[in-house]
Amino acid sequence: MMYPHPIIAKEGWPYLALVGVVTLFVHYLGGIAWSWPLWIIFFFVLQFFRDPQRIAALGRDLVLSPADGRIVVVEKTNDPYAGREALKISVFMNVFNVHSNRSSVHGLVKEIQYFPGKFVNADLDKASTENERNAVVIDANGQIVTLVQVAGLIARRILCYIHVGDRLKAGERYGFIRFGSRVDVYLPLTAEPLVSVGDKVFATNTALARLPGLD
């Protein structure tokens, strides 16, 4: 399924409407002297829910970043959702990053697994297994790619708009996490990482790895 890409994500419209009405009301009654803190909050919410269009990195064998943020993990580990050893690359999103989640590859959605959990800092390794999370297992031309949305310390809502049997395009918007979080990407061990811990990445624009056979 394709999801529209307004400049401001639809997930933020209720928040912007609420904060905007309160801000304008206070500004009307008391002027800028009383309303300036609310204007700061309004523009913070506005930047948080921005949702720009993205152009995919060139290369048919590239695994695209599913989120904006900073790389916090690049390691070989177990993929508990697909039951295999895998290369794991994790992207941590702070409150100033764009929070739309986009598919890393073209492929067929094979499984979607949701797990309730805690809300510890998403920057910590244990967040991958202890926090609330939603895993999407994708068959990308015979290669299994697992994308896991992980809620964070402030995040309290994982949104996923796809279903088992859907076909995704690389860079297609499939979900959103509100207010800080991370996305874990599990790849076959044949994948060659193109990023390192500490690198800043952008959803769809940045390639996380090269995976032979993604044609």
Question: Annotated active-site positions, please?
Answer: 181
In total, the chain counts a number of residues equal to 215
* Alpha carbon distance, N-terminus to C-terminus of the chain: 21
Gap between the Cα atoms of 21 and 143, Å rounded: 49
Q: Which amino acid is at 172?
A: E
Cβ neighbours for 124, distance < 8 A, ≥ 6 positions apart: none
State which H helix or E strand residue 35 sits in: helix 32-48
How far CA 13 is from CA of 5, 16, 113, 158, 183, in Å, comes to 13, 5, 28, 16, 23
Q: Where do we find the tokens 């912007």?
A: 16
